[in-house]
Amino acid sequence: MSKSVLILGAASDIGLAIAHEFAREKAGVILAAREPGRLEADAVDLRVRYGTEVTVTEFDILRTDRHDAFLDGLPALPDVVVCVVGLLTGQAELVMQTNFNAPALMLEAVAARMEARGTGSIVGISSVAGDRGRASNYVYGSAKAGFTAFLSGLRNRLAAKGVQVVTVKPGFVRTKMTAGMKLPGPITAEPKEVGAAVLAAVERKRDVIYVRPVWRLIMTIIRLIPETIFKRLSL
Amino acid sequence: MLSGWGNYPRVEARLLMARGRDEARAAVSSEASLIARGNGRSYGDAALNPNAVLSMLRSSRMIAFDEESGRLTCEAGVMLADILDVFVPRGWFAPVTPGTKFVTVGGMIASDVHGKNHHGAGSFTEHVDSFDLALADGQVVTCSRSENADLFAATCGGMGLTGTIVSATFRLIRVESPYIRQETRQAANLAEAMALLDQSASSTYSVAWIDCLSTGARMGRSVIFCGEHALPHELPSPPPKADTRTVTMPFHAPAMLLNRWSVSAFNEFYYRRNPAGTAIIPYGPYFYPLDAILAWNRLYGRAGFVQYQCVLPKAAAAEGMATLLRRIAASGKGSFLAVLKQFGATNPHGMLSFPMEGYTLALDFAVDRKTLALLGELDAITGDHGGRIYLAKDACSRPDLLRRGYPRLDEFLAVRHKVDPDNKFSSLLSQRLGL
């Protein structure tokens, strides 16, 4: 592979893990994050390890008015764009903005350009939390549900236009975002697994992936529970 | 709960994480007492502190590599396995490697690890040019043989007690292929094994697996594995494929699984299935046979195990090793993972560096009350023969043996007192041994 990949939200553990997987395959990597200074050491690490071209660029997904300018400012439209941006807790409006509005608008702008070119892959990191709203995190879950639906529609629209859209539902992942939470070992993935799963999904032209396959089963069961029972469960 | 690789002892400890120099410095500043930890492959209590343990595993970034000299600079939490993955395909190899690749650069310096090439290449820190150390007062200083030389010497093998290593520069070596030409020879007893190791001093790598349960004329029977980096023209075509499959030991084995009979049977089998001969094998199975079994430490049961590793000076080695082996065989406690190896000269820099010119013996014991008593006896034999024990393996030894075995201990303590007067850097090992 001598592709180029743009990672939006690259400072996250999952973002960096994805960068490692693509860089190992000799892809050129653009790391986009709000505080690019924090990523310089990681960029050096990627270059030393894989000898590939790595650039770091400032990007704030919440500044939706600047999305077009950001994309037009890149040296070239990348082959692969991965959106890892996400926020688990916080003020409801910010959680909604960060997990749905801003990523969807950004990928819409990417999609228009890839559609015009006739090639490309768009990867959205969504969440199993979007598969059904639960008391513990329904603001986050509903925004991710919206993002999942957005990616589904985008895939449908671009299927005949040469552009691939992948929805990734990682399940539990051991990251900074989940540090301190008690996560059950067998269904908790390492960031590296997510990175490898994203690379494989792009290479094999997959549509929707759960990083650990058991999550597909778990979420199918959770979706099948009738609402009359579901509302009484503590989830 | 946290423990070393031997699962003994286990303690409750707060685990802090540091990614990079600034986070390491902040963590060191914020704690009254702590010890750094890499991948937790030291066997005993070296990386345990009930107050706080600072994991450097996320400080895992490479910083620079010079294709001309092979000089690599990286953060302390970079794993040897990562270095090999990245650089072996580019024709480089670690200058010194311990028996597992799941160790960090910081851990290799703190334990001044050695490998099967110690007689020629010395220990790991002899290939280290410099490192950055976060000190108790919150400063980060660069240490090398010319800059802060006493701190450099105290930190090489210093078990993390002078400060926390945040990054290091060391030299990789050029290799022509990722394969090893292995020559296997059998020795009928201890004397023959030591003679064969002595004769293999010209081999780059040499190590003996030793049967520590056989007695009488067969006491110390061994299989000696010598190795050279294979040259491209020596490789069969097609070259053997590296088997990268691993299995995971899923649970703790019942303690009774390992006993005199099962281990004797394994030893008989192992001795017979390794006849004399030459073979070209990938570097993995030569250096890291046990890495293919993830979590093999569970083999010793829930109570855990201790690895006993001592070195005896050359002059006293023949008699001392025989005494050790007789005592171990009589106890019936020895494990099947026993190793005998010849060491070259002592590292002139590391004040607490373990290797000295002579022979080293390493073997595992499942933990029970009898084992702990036996280890005390082995310590006495080691001490009486002018030897010392390896701190990276130790979980049970006592201050007096440390003092007898490490002549530069006071020099080390003086440096430590200067940079860390309040003993901020402290581990269960340092507390037990009065370090």
Between CA B208 and CA B130 the distance in angstroms is: 33
Per residue in B92-127, pLDDT (tens digit) is 999 999 999 999 999 999 999 999 999 999 999 999
In chain B, the residue whose alpha carbon lies closest to the alpha carbon of A13 is: B58
Among candidates B17, B20, B62 on the partner chain, residue whose Cβ is nearest the Cβ of A48: B62
Which residues of chain A, if any, have pLDDT below 70?
A: 1-2
pLDDT score, position B246:
79
Q: What's the pLDDT score for residue A196?
A: 97
Interface test with A, best of B57, B58, B61, B172 (most A CBs within 10 A): B61
What does the alpha-carbon distance between residue A50 and residue A104 come to, in Å, rounded to a whole number? 31
Other Cβ atoms less than 10 A from the Cβ of A183: the count is 14
- Contact residues of A toward B, CB < 8 A: 41-42, 44-45, 48-50, 179
Nearest CA in chain A to B87: A49
Residues from chain A that touch B63, judged by Cβ atoms under 8 A, are: 41, 44-45, 48
Distance from the Cα of A126 to chain B's closest Cα (Å) equals 25
pLDDT attached to residue A175: 86
Tell whether B294 is within 8 A of chain A (Cβ).
no
From B67, which residue of chain A is nearest by alpha-carbon distance? Answer: A48
Nearest CA to A42 out of A54, A51, A34, A52 is that of A54
Closest CB to A44 among B17, B63, B82: B63
Residue of A nearest to B20 (CA): A41
CA distances from B316 to A92, B195, B311, B387, B428 (A): 73, 14, 10, 9, 31
Chain B from 30 to 89: CB within 8 A of any A CB: 61-65, 82, 86
Q: How confident is the model at residue B254 (pLDDT cuts 50, 70, 90)?
A: confident
- Contact residues, chain A, for B65 at CB < 8 Å: 48
> From the CA of B65, how many Å to the nearest CA of chain A?
6
Q: Which residue among B17, B20, B64 places its CB closest to the CB of A48? A: B64
With CA atoms as reference, report the closest residue to B309 among B103, B113, B81.
B113
Q: What are the chain B neighbours of A48 within 8 Å (beta carbons)?
A: 62-65, 86
When pLDDT is cut at 50, 70 and 90, the band that residue B65 belongs to is very high
Cα distance between residue B60 and residue B76, in whole Å: 7
Residue with tokens 């990616």: A151
* Cα-to-chain-centroid distance, residue A96: 15
Residue-wise pLDDT tens digits, B327-384: 998 888 867 778 999 999 999 999 999 999 999 999 999 898 888 899 999 999 999 9
According to DSSP, the β-strands at B205-210 and B222-229 are antiparallel
Q: Which of B62, B78, B132 to mutate to test the interface with A (most CBs of A within 10 A)?
A: B62
Nearest Cα residue in chain A from B85: A49
Kindly state whether B315 is in contact with chain A, defined as any CB-CB distance less than 8 angstroms.
no
The structural domains of chain B, with segments of one domain joined by +, span 179-404
- The pLDDT, as a whole number, for residue B249 is 79
Q: A–B: how many Cβ contacts below 8 A?
A: 21
pLDDT of residue A1: 55
* ipTM of the prediction: 0.89
Taking residues B129-134, report their average pLDDT.
98
* Secondary structure of chain B as H, E, C letters: CEECCCCCCEECCCEEECCHHHHHHHHHHHCCCEEEECCCCCCCCCCCCCCCEEECCCCCCEEEEECCCCEEEEECCCEHHHHHHHHHHHCEECCCCCCCCCCEHHHHHHCCCCCCCHHHHCCHHHHEEEEEEECCCCCEEEEECCCCHHHHHHHCCCCCCCCEEEEEEEECEECCCCEEEEEEEEECCHHHHHHHHHHHHHCCEEEEEECCCCCHHHCCCEEEEEEEECCHHHCCCCCCCCCCCCEECCCCCCHHHCCHHHHHHHHHHHHHHCCCEEEEEEHHHHHCHHHHEECHHHHHCCCCEEEEEEEEEHHHHHHHHHHHHHHHHHHCCCCCCCEEEEECCCCCCCCCCCCCCEEEEEEEEECCHHHHHHHHHHHHHHHHCCCEECCCCCCCCCHHHHHHHCCCHHHHHHHHHHHCCCCCECCHHHHHHCC
Q: Inter-chain contact A48–B20, Cβ cutoff 8 Å?
A: no
Cβ-proximal residues to B271 (8 Å cutoff; 6+ apart), any chain:
B186, B211, B221, B223
The rounded distance, in Å, linking the Cα atoms of B133 and B271 is 45
Measured between CB atoms, does B91 come within 8 Å of chain A? no
Q: Please tell me which of the candidates A48, A50, A179 has its beta carbon nearest to residue B63.
A: A48
Answer whether A209's CB lies under 8 Å from A168's CB: yes
Substitution target from A24, A38, A44, A48 for chain B, most B beta carbons within 10 A:
A48
- Nearest CB to B61; choose among A42, A50, A179: A42
Angle made by CA atoms A20, A21, A26, in degrees to the nearest 5: 90
pLDDT for residue B238: 84
Q: Alpha-carbon distance B2 to B11, whole Å? A: 5
Q: Which residue of B has its CA nearest to A16?
A: B61
CB contact under 8 A, B86 and A45: no
**What residue has token string 């597992």?**
B100
What is the mean predicted confidence (pLDDT) over B376-402? 96
B434: left (phi over 0), alpha (psi -120 to 50) or beta: left
* Residue from B307, B265, B268, B272 nearest B290 by CA: B307
Chain A residues touching residue B20 (CB < 8 angstroms): 41
Nearest CA in chain A to B84: A49
Q: Tell me the CATH architecture of domain A4-230.
A: 3-Layer(aba) Sandwich (3.40)
Which of B91, B208, B154 lies closest to B349, judged by CA? B154
Q: Are strands B164-171 and B128-134 parallel, antiparallel or unpaired?
A: antiparallel
CB-nearest to B20 from A41, A48, A179 is A41
Instruction: Tell the burial category of B217 from Cβ atoms under 10 Å away from its Cβ (0-12, 13-18, 19+).
Output: exposed
**B179-404 has which CATH code?**
3.40.462
Residue A66, min C-alpha distance to chain B (Å): 31
Q: Which of A55, A104, A50 is CA-nearest to residue A76? A: A55
Q: CB–CB of A41 and B61 under 8 A?
A: yes
Q: Note the pLDDT of residue A2.
A: 62
